[in-house]
C-alpha cells in the first residue's frame, strides 16, 4: 500500500517550529537564574526579549500541525490510540528514563536514580522540563475522540462561536492577576465560566477551522497574517521587556509568553496562515526538509542533552544574540546527525518516533 501524500507546508512548519523551540531553550541560558529572572547586563535583557518574544508560537504551531489532519478522526478510537502510542508514548517513555538516569551517572543532577525514576510515575524531573509538552500533547490526543463527532457535524458559524469564546479565554492570564478571581472562579471553584473553552484545545479547533473554511489567496493570508504577527509580537516581547525590568518573578516576567494568551494566539494564527502557503517541492530543498520533519519528534526529545554542551562550547566566545543562534543551530545540526545514526538501527521508531 502506498503511503499517503505528504502535506508540504506541514513539513516546513514542523522544521521551523522545531528550530524555534531549540532557540527558545537557548535563550534560557541568558535570563534564567536561581529563584527567578536574572540578566547579566541590560543588553541581554533586550536581546532575550526581542528573540524569545518572536518564538512563543512554536509550541502552538506544533499542536496545530498535529491536529490539522487528525480531527475529526477518520479511524476508530482504538486504532487511533494504538498509532499514537507507538509514535508518541513509547519514545517519550524511553527518553524520560534516559533523562532520569544519565544526568546522575554524569554527576550533573542531584538525587538518586531510584528517586528520579519513581518521579516518572507522575511527572518529569526538574532538569527535563521540556517533556511537559508531551504530557500536554497526550492530553490533547485524549480529547480528540471526544470532540471529533462535534467537528464532523458543526456548522461554520458554530465553530466560529467556539473560537470566539476560546479567544476571550486567552485574556484570563491577564485578568485574573489584575482583578482577582473572575468569571465565577472562587476559593471553592477552580473552573471558571470559560474553563472548558480554554487551553490548547483551541488550537486544535483553529487548525480544523482553517483547513475547512479558510481558502484565501496568498495576498489575503499575508494581509491578515502579518498584522496578527506584528501586534502579537509587540505585546509578547514588549511586556516581557517591561515586566522583567521591574521584577525577577518568573511568572510575572513570562506572563505574556504563556502559550494560551491572546497575543501568542495572534502570532500563531498569523504564522499558520502564512506558512500554509509554502508549497516549494524543489528536491534540493524539500527532500531534506521532509526528512527533518519526520525526525522532528526525536530531535525535540533529545535536544536538551546536546544543548548544554553546545552552550559550554560557544558562549565564552560570543555575546548574547549571536551565541543564542549559534547554540541553537549547532544543537539542531547535531540532533539531526544523531537521528540519522539512530535511523540505521532496527526498530528505531520506538526511539525517535
pLDDT tens sequence across 162-171: 999 999 999 9
C-alpha to C-alpha distance for 344 and 326, rounded to whole angstroms: 28
**184 SS3 class:** coil
For residues 112 and 109, what is the distance between their CA atoms, to the nearest angstrom? 9
pLDDT at residue 1 in the model = 35
Residue 186 CB-density burial (10 A; 0-12 exposed, 13-18 middle, 19+ buried)? exposed
Q: List Cβ neighbours of 283 (8 Å cut-off, separation of 6 or more).
A: none
Q: In degrees rounded to 5, what are phi and psi of residue 37?
A: -85, 125
Q: Which residues contact 140 (CB under 8 A, 6 or more apart)?
A: 63, 66, 67, 200, 201, 204
Longest CA–CA separation in the chain, Å: 60
Is-contact 236 53, C-beta < 8 A? yes
Q: What is the pLDDT of residues 39-95, one digit of tens each?
A: 989 999 999 999 999 999 999 999 999 999 999 999 999 999 999 988 999 999 999
Confidence of residue 4 (pLDDT cuts 50, 70, 90): low
Task: Say which residue the cell 482553517 belongs to.
Answer: 210
Amino acid at each position: 500500500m502506498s503511503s499517503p501524500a505528504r502535506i508540504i507546508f506541514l513539513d516546513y512548519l514542523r522544521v521551523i517550529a522545531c528550530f524555534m523551540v531549540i532557540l527558545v531553550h537557548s535563550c534560557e541560558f541568558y535570563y534564567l537564574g536561581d529563584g527567578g529572572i536574572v540578566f547579566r547586563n541590560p543588553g541581554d535583557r533586550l536581546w532575550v526579549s526581542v528573540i524569545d518574544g518572536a518564538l512563543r508560537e512554536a509550541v502552538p504551531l506544533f499542536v496545530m500541525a498535529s491536529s490539522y489532519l487528525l480531527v475529526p478522526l477518520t479511524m476508530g478510537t482504538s486504532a487511533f490510540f494504538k498509532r499514537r502510542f507507538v509514535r508518541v508514548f513509547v519514545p517519550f517513555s524511553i527518553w524520560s528514563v534516559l533523562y532520569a538516569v544519565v544526568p546522575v551517572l554524569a554527576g550533573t543532577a542531584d538525587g538518586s536514580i531510584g528517586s528520579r525514576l519513581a518521579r516518572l510515575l507522575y511527572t518529569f524531573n526538574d532538569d527535563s522540563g521540556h517533556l511537559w509538552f508531551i504530557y500536554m500533547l497526550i492530553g490533547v490526543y485524549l480529547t480528540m475522540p471526544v470532540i471529533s463527532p462535534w467537528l464532523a457535524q458543526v456548522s461554520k458559524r458554530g465553530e466560529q462561536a467556539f473560537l470566539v469564546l476560546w479567544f476571550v479565554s486567552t485574556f484570563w492570564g491577564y485578568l485574573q492577576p489584575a482583578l482577582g478571581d473572575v468569571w465565577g472562579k472562587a476559593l471553592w471553584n477552580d473552573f471558571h465560566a470559560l474553563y472548558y473553552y480554554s487551553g490548547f484545545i483551541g488550537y486544535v479547533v483553529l487548525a480544523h477551522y482553517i483547513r475547512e473554511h479558510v481558502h484565501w489567496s496568498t495576498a489575503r493570508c499575508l494581509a491578515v497574517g502579518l498584522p496578527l504577527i506584528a501586534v502579537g509580537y509587540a505585546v509578547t516581547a514588549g511586556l516581557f521587556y517591561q515586566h522583567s525590568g521591574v521584577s525577577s518573578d518568573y511568572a510575572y516576567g513570562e506572563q505574556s509568553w504563556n502559550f494560551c494568551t491572546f497575543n501568542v494566539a495572534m502570532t500563531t494564527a498569523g504564522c499558520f496562515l502564512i506558512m500554509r502557503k509554502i508549497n516549494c517541492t524543489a528536491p534540493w530543498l524539500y527532500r531534506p526538509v521532509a526528512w527533518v520533519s519526520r525526525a522532528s519528534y526525536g530531535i525535540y526529545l533529545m535536544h536538551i542533552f546536546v544543548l548544554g554542551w553546545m552552550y559550554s562550547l560557544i558562549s565564552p566566545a560570543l555575546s548574547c544574540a549571536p551565541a543564542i543562534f549559534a547554540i541553537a543551530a549547532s544543537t539542531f545540526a547535531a540532533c539531526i546527525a544523531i537521528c540519522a545514526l539512530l535511523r540505521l538501527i532496527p526498530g528505531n521508531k520506538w526511539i525517535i518516533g
